[in-house]
Amino acid sequence: MKITVDKGKCQNHGLCAISAPDHFELDADGKLTYQKTFGEEDLDAIEDAIDSCPLQAIVMDRDAA
């Protein structure tokens, strides 16, 4: 599975990093970094991160490898 973050929408609020800290984080400059792929075992955390994004900038593709 794969995550995409629309950098045009993302305003680096960091709520995704709170919801799924193993996959999202704010770097030293306050910019979002994230792991693009994840496994089934992380699905709940990723869905929480997607739901927490106030700008709906995170998209998940379940079919991507």
- The H-or-E segment that residue 60 falls in is strand 58-61
Q: What is the DSSP letter of 36?
A: S
pLDDT value of position 62? 85
Distance CA 43, CA 28 (A): 27
- Predicted local confidence at residue 65, as pLDDT: 60
pLDDT of residue 20: 96
pLDDT digits (tens, 9 = 90+) for 5-55: 999 999 999 999 999 999 999 999 999 999 999 999 999 999 999 999 999
> What's the predicted TM-score (pTM) here?
0.89
* 1, 32, 37 from 29: Cα distances, Å: 28, 9, 23
Phi, psi of 15 (to 5 degrees): -65, -30
